[in-house]
Structure 1
Amino acid sequence: MIVTHSKNHLFRIICVFGMIMIMSNARTLNPTNQRIRATNLGGWLVTEGWMKPSLFDSIPNKDFLDGVGLQFKSKTIGKFLCAELGGGTIIVANRSSASGWETFHLWRMSATSFHMRVFNKQFLGLDSTGVNLVATTTNSQTSGVFEIIRKPDDTSLVRIKAPNGLYLQAKSEDLVTADSKGDGEWGDDDPSVFEMTIIETFKGEYQITRGYGPLRAPKIMKDHWDTFIVEDDFKFIATSGLNAVRIPVGWWTASDPTPPKPYVGGSLQYLDKAFLWARKYNLKVILDLHAAPGSQNGYEHSATRDGSIEWGQTDENIQETVRVIEFFTARYASNPSLYAVELINEPRASGVPLSVLTKYYDLGYKAVRKHAPNAFVILSNRLGGEPKELFPLASGMKNVVIDVHYYNLFSSVFDDMTVEENIEFVRTNRSAELQAITTSNGPLTFVGEWVSEWQVRGATKEDYQKFSKANLDVFGRATFGWAYWSLKNVNNHWSMDWMIKNGYINL
């Protein structure tokens, strides 16, 4: 009897050990029969205004959000204000055409007051005379606050009130001062009047939380999080032929409930809900750090303040990002839905050196492995980088994936393409690009973002169905899988929810 009991006990131990081994390897992918077919939950926990413009409707003075790029043409001189040399010296009014040096980006302090940043990241201010306009300091707090006053019946005409309480005026091409009373009739002969052009806007997380301010933003964001993605969406995803969600998150969520200003607390509890819903409906989760501290690409979806790329410029910034990755991984490592962690989304080659990125990827990979030994770690290719530049780093890692994004958009190449040419481009060019980075002994490949949208005007439903099928056929060859951008969007073809329900995509 003792022997029998021991055998039974041993059998139970073996069974339990076997179950542990199965669970510990639950995230191991078999590329031949279980590839990711996902949708992104974009625009939810990281704001992208173009996906839901109504979010910004009630912001006071909403034309002047953080980062908006403005150009000012003197009505008397007929030339643009310009930061000479791009910054570091005086402001002039002698440019016949406008580009980077002639563009001023706002840092919003209130609905009507702003710091103004120039090309080389200095801020407008007054020199020691208290009158002459310069851009010499990189410290916004010492630069002074400006106001932009629009003409009531023509909002393209403005006056700019300086920190000394007087108004800017272009006295000559080389002399811009802050010593006008600004009480004229807005005529073309008034040197304090400028014609303003808005050339660039940002509507991301920074803009919406700063725009509404600390009193209104928490409710606005909570209402959005409550309604944009709900449990029924996960149920729909699970019954539509999809097996995963890619969830973009921002670095500030790791500091919930008291993130740095202007971000507001509360997003972490919605990420928790997403993991609960994913587990309930047997969906895998790809956790994607979409917005890193300082912005890794200068786009609104990385929560940039003014289009600058400042991520990775210091070791502390990299270490802070690693801490964010470790926080998320540790929090969700015990949830069987955590399938992969994407260390950063779309770093831009023009602002992020490869050496900096590989250093971060190495540290981020180790942070994930510390808590989730078998989760996949996804390395996003740099925008504008070489397709295989991450392969040497990836060769020393296990369960690692390279993320590429394919859109038949954002390039003049696609401007005049027909329906047939777009489809052929996917079947030929995209297929070749994907095949080039898919190797038998290299990292897995993941088309982390794509969409059935293009530059074609007047396309029929059947055209979209053919285009969608071509994308699915080609991107289905990615050895890790694909993820559509995105589940919800006011633009129908960008919404996988709409595309599936209306028969444009058949899974």
Structure 2
Amino acid sequence: MATPLVLFALGVFSNLAAAWLPEIDREITSLGGTNLFTKSNGTIRGVDMGAQFVFEPWIAETAWDDIGCGTQYCETNCVREMGQDAANAAFAIHWDSWITREDIREIASYGLNTIRVPIGFWMLEDIVDPSTEAFPQGGFPYLERFCGWASDAGLYIILDLHGATGAQVTENPDTGRYVPKVEFYNEYQYERALLFLEQLVLEVHVNHNFRNVGMLEIVNEPLQDPDEVASMRETYYPRAFERIRAVEMALQVRREDYVHIQMMNELWGAGNPKENLTDLYYAAYDDHRYLKYDASIPVSKDSYLNASCTDDRGDDSPTIVGEWSLSPPDDVQWDSDWDPDTNVAFYRKWFAAQVMAYEKQHGWIFWTWKAQLDDYRWSYKDAVAAGVIPLDLDSVYDTGVCDGI
């Protein structure tokens, strides 16, 4: 059942946009964009918009310092330290400059066709409880403009609830709150998240700037403990489908134009996302694959190439490997065998091996577009400049890296 706020909006807006998965459900050209999926035969090839609307200080310490947050762990702490008005002004400068329209054009020119945009629930400010929560305000118009740029460029857009109500994991700034205890997994927080999803899907269908948004990820990286997050699978996931579809039905959106609703897949470790769903129409799955955190894989170049060439990411469809990188474990990353400056040939092979593995699914999204790490292993833009990532992505199939493996 749609909430009163959404029902009111339904009577105000018209000229519906459509959601889709390119080359399967709808050509991206149907809404005036350029079809960047033709060359990839419908496969998603994309980059994450890390630190744009959900700031992770490790990605961009200089930008974090420039905002005025240098001594703080997360956006909440920064806002409380700076004060609301000063924080709003400082974050606005960041939203305006971290990833620009020129970046969006460059992304499209590199043969990519998709962006995944991490956002926090505080982007819709009426969801925020000002008595207990503090976040930068004024971000939504920047998100709107950002998605308009991407739509103009013909990029497919996935909006990802990266920072959930109450925080879905502990001590991680990518939830917007660096907290010692999770608070997401209860009825109160689920309801707030559902209100967020309702308002977001409304914008997707009625706001022209969001016309290329075809997928909503309803929570990023929940706890990797199936028992602790059982209520998420039992309650939040089914209700998210019900509430999102209720808005779309109220808008009289055609079923083929519904958004895809994305959840972390079972390989993530939060249980089977499908176990309590009765209708999997336009369900989608997110798979994050960082070999650096997989203790079962020996830390060697040959092992990493072998693991990627033989990687099996399951048979749920559509599955998108929504985060991955070229980074080895932290304790060896600057050793001579792994140094990015002297091992370009290896990283070129490893990129190709991972791409070929993930394109056995519905595609991939690299974490992240840009960083301030002086390390191309986390920055697609820098990896292209270093000659690690080719502009012709189809050429990875000509490398022979997996021949005989």
Q: Given the two structures, how large is their TM-score scaled by the length of structure 1?
A: 0.61
1:304 aligns with 2:304: no
Q: 1:274 Cα shift?
A: 1.4
2:243 to 330, 355, 367: 367
What's 1:239 paired with?
Answer: 109
Whole-angstrom distance in 1 between the partners of 2:185 and 2:164: 9
Whole-angstrom distance in 2 between the partners of 1:59 and 1:27: 36
Whole-angstrom distance in 1 between the partners of 2:21 and 2:230: 29
Residue 482 of structure 1 aligns with an amino acid whose one-letter code is W
Whole-angstrom distance in 2 between the partners of 1:386 and 1:204: 25
Mean CA deviation greater in 251-260 or 269-278: 251-260
Residue 449 of structure 1 aligns with an amino acid whose one-letter code is E
Match of 2:322, SS state, is: strand
Task: Give the 5 Å matches for 1:438-457.
Answer: 438=315, 442-455=316-329, 456=333, 457=335
Question: Which consecutive segments of 4 or more residues in structure 1 shift more than 6 A?
Answer: 58-61, 256-259
Match of 1:317, SS state, is: helix
- Taking a change above 3 Å as real, the CA distance of residues 241 and 386 of structure 1, as seen in their structure-2 partners, is same
Give the gaps of 5 or more residues in structure 2. Answer: 1-16, 26-39, 394-405
- Taking a change above 3 Å as real, the CA distance of residues 256 and 37 of structure 1, as seen in their structure-2 partners, is farther
Q: Which has the higher helix share?
A: 2
RMSD value, Cα: 2.7
Q: 1:27 Cα shift?
A: 3.8
Q: 1:290 Cα shift?
A: 0.3
- Whether the 8 Å contact between 1:283 and 1:337 is mirrored in structure 2 is yes
- Whether the 8 Å contact between 1:296 and 1:311 is mirrored in structure 2 is yes
What's 1:268 paired with?
Answer: 140
Q: 1:423 Cα shift?
A: 1.2
Residue 202 of structure 2 aligns with an amino acid whose one-letter code is A
Match of 1:392, SS state, is: coil
Give the gaps of 5 or more residues in structure 1. Answer: 1-22, 66-202
Residue 354 of structure 2 aligns with an amino acid whose one-letter code is N
Mean CA deviation greater in 481-490 or 403-412: 403-412
What's 1:474 paired with?
Answer: 357
2:205 to 295, 314, 333: 333
Match of 2:140, SS state, is: helix
- Taking a change above 3 Å as real, the CA distance of residues 248 and 303 of structure 1, as seen in their structure-2 partners, is same
What's 1:398 paired with?
Answer: 281
- Taking a change above 3 Å as real, the CA distance of residues 323 and 225 of structure 1, as seen in their structure-2 partners, is same
Residue 501 of structure 1 aligns with an amino acid whose one-letter code is A
Match of 2:262, SS state, is: strand
- Taking a change above 3 Å as real, the CA distance of residues 497 and 59 of structure 1, as seen in their structure-2 partners, is closer
2:379 to 479, 484, 495: 495
- Whether the 8 Å contact between 2:123 and 2:140 is mirrored in structure 1 is yes
1:40 aligns with 2:34: no
Residue 399 of structure 1 aligns with an amino acid whose one-letter code is Y
Whole-angstrom distance in 2 between the partners of 1:218 and 1:285: 26
What's 1:463 paired with?
Answer: 346
Match of 2:169, SS state, is: coil
Q: Which is bigger in relative contact order (C-alpha 8 A, separation at least 6)? A: 2
Deviations along 1:178-217, one digit per CA (max 9) or x if unpaired, are xxxxxxxxxxxxxxxxxxxxxxxxx222232223222421
What's 1:324 paired with?
Answer: 196
Deviations along 1:384-406, one digit per CA (max 9) or x if unpaired, are 6266x123345621111111100
Task: Give the 5 Å matches for 1:364-443.
Answer: 364-369=240-245, 370-371=247-248, 373=255, 374-381=258-265, 385=269, 389-393=272-276, 396-413=279-296, 417-428=299-310, 431-432=311-312, 434=313, 437-438=314-315, 442-443=316-317
Deviations along 1:119-155, one digit per CA (max 9) or x if unpaired, are xxxxxxxxxxxxxxxxxxxxxxxxxxxxxxxxxxxxx
Match of 2:323, SS state, is: strand
- Whether the 8 Å contact between 1:347 and 1:383 is mirrored in structure 2 is no
Deviations along 1:226-252, one digit per CA (max 9) or x if unpaired, are 110110111011111111110000001
Match of 1:447, SS state, is: strand
Whole-angstrom distance in 1 between the partners of 2:68 and 2:212: 41
Whole-angstrom distance in 2 between the partners of 1:58 and 1:257: 28
Whole-angstrom distance in 2 between the partners of 1:461 and 1:253: 39
When the two structures are aligned, how many residues end up with a matched partner?
335
Deviations along 1:318-356, one digit per CA (max 9) or x if unpaired, are 111000011111012244301101011000034842233
Whole-angstrom distance in 2 between the partners of 1:25 and 1:426: 32
Deviations along 1:252-309, one digit per CA (max 9) or x if unpaired, are 1111798734212111011101111012111111010000111111222112332321
Q: Which has the higher strand share?
A: 1
- Whether the 8 Å contact between 1:253 and 1:259 is mirrored in structure 2 is no
1:345 aligns with 2:228: no
Match of 2:86, SS state, is: helix
What's 1:54 paired with?
Answer: 62
- Whether the 8 Å contact between 1:341 and 1:368 is mirrored in structure 2 is no
1:357 aligns with 2:233: yes
- Taking a change above 3 Å as real, the CA distance of residues 471 and 395 of structure 1, as seen in their structure-2 partners, is farther
Deviations along 1:42-89, one digit per CA (max 9) or x if unpaired, are 1110010101112443798965x4xxxxxxxxxxxxxxxxxxxxxxxx
1:504 aligns with 2:374: no
Match of 1:57, SS state, is: helix
Match of 2:291, SS state, is: coil
- Taking a change above 3 Å as real, the CA distance of residues 35 and 61 of structure 1, as seen in their structure-2 partners, is closer
Whole-angstrom distance in 2 between the partners of 1:386 and 1:214: 35
- Whether the 8 Å contact between 2:20 and 2:260 is mirrored in structure 1 is no
Q: 1:362 Cα shift?
A: 1.2
What's 2:36 paired with?
Answer: none
- Taking a change above 3 Å as real, the CA distance of residues 257 and 318 of structure 1, as seen in their structure-2 partners, is closer
Residue 484 of structure 1 aligns with an amino acid whose one-letter code is F
Mean CA deviation greater in 392-401 or 402-411: 392-401
Match of 1:304, SS state, is: coil
- Taking a change above 3 Å as real, the CA distance of residues 249 and 425 of structure 1, as seen in their structure-2 partners, is same
What's 2:166 paired with?
Answer: 294
- Taking a change above 3 Å as real, the CA distance of residues 381 and 244 of structure 1, as seen in their structure-2 partners, is same
Residue 293 of structure 1 aligns with an amino acid whose one-letter code is T
- Whether the 8 Å contact between 2:53 and 2:139 is mirrored in structure 1 is yes
